[in-house]
């Protein structure tokens, strides 16, 4: 048997087995199938015990589960194969895995990666820390673990590895000095990391009093900052109880808030009394006036604004002079406080 001759100038076309299965559709142009893309049964996947995230918001998990029921998992998770346990261990995407289980899914799309141990935590940190998707307590713990895995280098090296400023790292690490109650509030989402900075450096009793107020009332940031600063310097015994600290904080809070006439009156009388006491020149009295001024948001002296506000006071006094029957003990108390403060500023405090 002889080979069939070929036409001159024509070469025989060669085929491979792979070519028989090649996708020749237009949409396949420029597309390469991933060999490590899988759909894996949920019960074959386990969480990474070294995962930085330690808490998951149930409401957000429920929302993600509802989305998965409607649209499926839009982004594959990343896993690694653990040969010893014959299982897949999560590298990225634990929220999607948990939400898929809540959604009643049996399997989940996944990419299988062989990630070295020293890179896994770094990648998990990058996913969560850079996206600000991890609470401050868990982030700080993860950074400490990462530093240990890297051989305890300076924090500057850790900051460079995860792309975070050194100052930001120390802000996160500061949360580790907070009370267990404050740390739990951060992990549960009741207290933001920024709010928690107001607690740092306070005694346990002051910390707990301030934490309770921040969690319960959720005051505006500017008000919380003013009250916290005044509370930090407020005279209070070192062994004061939480109840005593809470009472002191309530006093400062009420002075800072001017939402009704009674609180406005209390604030004015307290500030005028502090002005009168500061006449003595004693360091403590002047420091008290400074703290109270900061608490109520006093601005730097401005002659033009002073003239305007003095005009408002004079108009109020004229109204009172024309309607003496409206005068009561509360008005008299404010007049006497104003009288003493003006006398103190003039250097000749009048009598009560």
Distance CA 120, CA 146 (A): 10
How far, in Å, are 104, 127, 286 from residue 52 at the CA level?
Answer: 26, 10, 48
Strand 45-46 and strand 87-92: the pairing is parallel
Q: How many CB atoms lie within 10 A of CB 69?
A: 14
Could you write out the DSSP letters of every residue in 237-252? Answer: -TT--HHHHHHHHHHH
Distance CA 207, CA 39 (A): 49
Active-site entry in 22, 94, 181, 319: 94
Distance CA 125, CA 118 (A): 12
Contact 226, 295 (CB under 8 A): yes
Q: Kindly state the greatest CA–CA separation across the chain.
A: 135
Does 83 participate in catalysis according to the annotation?
A: no
Catalytic residues: 94
């Amino acid at each position: 048997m002889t080979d069939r001759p070929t036409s001159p100038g024509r070469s025989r076309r060669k085929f491979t087995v792979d070519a028989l299965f090649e996708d020749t559709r237009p949409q396949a142009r420029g597309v390469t199938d991933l060999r490590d893309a899988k759909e894996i049964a949920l019960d074959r996947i386990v969480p990474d015990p070294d995962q930085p995230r330690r808490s998951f918001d149930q409401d957000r998990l429920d929302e993600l589960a509802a989305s998965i029921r409607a649209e499926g998992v839009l982004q594959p998770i990343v896993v690694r194969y653990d040969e010893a346990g014959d299982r897949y261990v999560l590298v990225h995407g634990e929220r999607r895995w948990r939400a898929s289980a809540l959604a009643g899914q049996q399997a989940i799309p996944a990419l299988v990666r062989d990630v070295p141990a020293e890179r896994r935590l770094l990648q998990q940190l990058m996913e969560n820390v850079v996206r600000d998707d991890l609470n401050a307590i868990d982030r700080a713990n993860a950074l400490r673990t990462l530093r240990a895995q890297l051989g305890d280098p300076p924090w500057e090296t850790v900051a460079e590895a995860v792309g975070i400023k050194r100052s930001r790292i120390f802000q996160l690490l500061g949360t580790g000095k907070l009370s267990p109650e404050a740390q739990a509030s951060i992990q549960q989402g009741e207290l933001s990391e920024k709010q928690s900075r107001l607690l740092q450096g306070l005694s346990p009793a002051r910390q707990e009093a301030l934490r309770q107020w921040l969690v319960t009332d959720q005051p505006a940031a500017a008000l919380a900052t003013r009250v916290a600063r005044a509370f930090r310097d407020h005279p209070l015994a070192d062994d004061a109880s939480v109840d005593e600290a809470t009472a002191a904080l309530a006093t400062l809070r009420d002075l800072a808030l001017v939402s009704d006439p009674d609180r406005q009156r209390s604030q004015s009388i307290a500030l005028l009394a502090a002005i009168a006491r500061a006449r003595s020149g004693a360091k403590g009295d002047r420091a008290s006036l400074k703290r109270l001024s900061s608490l109520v948001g006093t601005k730097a002296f401005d002659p033009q604004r002073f003239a305007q506000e003095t005009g408002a006071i004079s108009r109020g006094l004229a109204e009172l002079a024309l309607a003496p029957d409206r005068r009561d003990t509360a008005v008299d108390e404010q007049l006497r406080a104003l009288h003493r403060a003006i006398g103190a500023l003039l250097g000749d405090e009048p009598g009560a």
